[in-house]
Amino acid sequence: MIGSAYFLTAVFAIFIYSSRIYTNRSVLAGVGKGYVPVEEGEVGPGVRKMIMRQLERSVVVAWECTPRNVHEEMKQRGGQRTVGNIVPVNPSCPPWGIIEHPGWSSPSRCAENLNPDVQFAEVVAELPNLVEAKAVSLATTGGETDPAMVDVLRRPRGISVRDYLLRLHQLGLVEQGHDFLPQYEHARFCARPISQEEFASLMDSFSRLLAGISSPSHNIITQLR
């Protein structure tokens, strides 16, 4: 009788202790965590494998959407139109858009971009020298250079591009009212770098300016001599 009482007491004590442990674990499991439990041991094996597959997929998506030069990848893939296993990347319309920055040409190495990574300020600074070189080259006729004509056509030190073009106009080399000058002054002295479109328009005006520079008339040459 006494032994049965001890046995029942022990069983009851074990039941109470087990219920307390179960209750404590249930309460702790219900407490919110400061992170998402995805590590091994925190979730089941099947859930862990699914999480790892999705994490690997996220890494691939992040890489394929990273701005980069995809033309080398296209060459390795045998000239396919797109690259990417999950995100199809079309070089003509990539998911990251057109990469460009004011003052620079696009870094893309595609066939349409003939001059990548060009700093516009360096090109703009050389334009007056190219105009002067074109004008001075007109002082050479028949393989002989006229020193007097070179001195006249050379750009004097300290003279502005506007005054130099006016001087060439007075000599009959360029036409007045050319649209190159305002575009050049905007690109040269503006507080912000010019865009790709503004640079293309400037270079178009510059090419037409160079093409329009003609030799001075015979009367002007005679007067200069």
For residues 132, 137, 139, 141, the Cα torsion angle rounded to the nearest 10 degrees is -170
Residue 72: name the closest of 61, 116, 80, 88 by CA: 80
Judged by average pLDDT, the poorest of 27-31, 39-43, 62-66 is 27-31
**pLDDT tens digits for range 149-159:** 888 888 888 88
Tell me the sheet residues that pair with 43: 40
Q: Which is higher by pLDDT, 28 or 161? A: 161
**pLDDT, mean over the chain:** 80
**pLDDT tens digits for range 61-91:** 888 888 777 776 767 666 666 777 777 777 7
Contact 115, 105 (CB under 8 A): yes
For the chain, the 3-state helix, strand and coil shares in percent, each to the nearest 5, are: 55, 5, 40
Predicted pLDDT at 37? 72
Predicted pLDDT at 19? 85
Predicted pLDDT at 167? 87
Q: Percent of the chain having pLDDT more than 70?
A: 81
Indicate whether 224 pLDDT > 60: no
Tell me the sheet residues that pair with 90: 93
Predicted pLDDT at 101? 84
Contact 56, 80 (CB under 8 A): no
How would residue 205 be classed by pLDDT, with cut points 50, 70 and 90? very high
Distance (Å, whole) CA 56 – CA 15: 46
Predicted pLDDT at 36? 72
Helix (H), strand (E) at residue 117 = none
**pLDDT tens digits for range 119-129:** 999 999 999 99
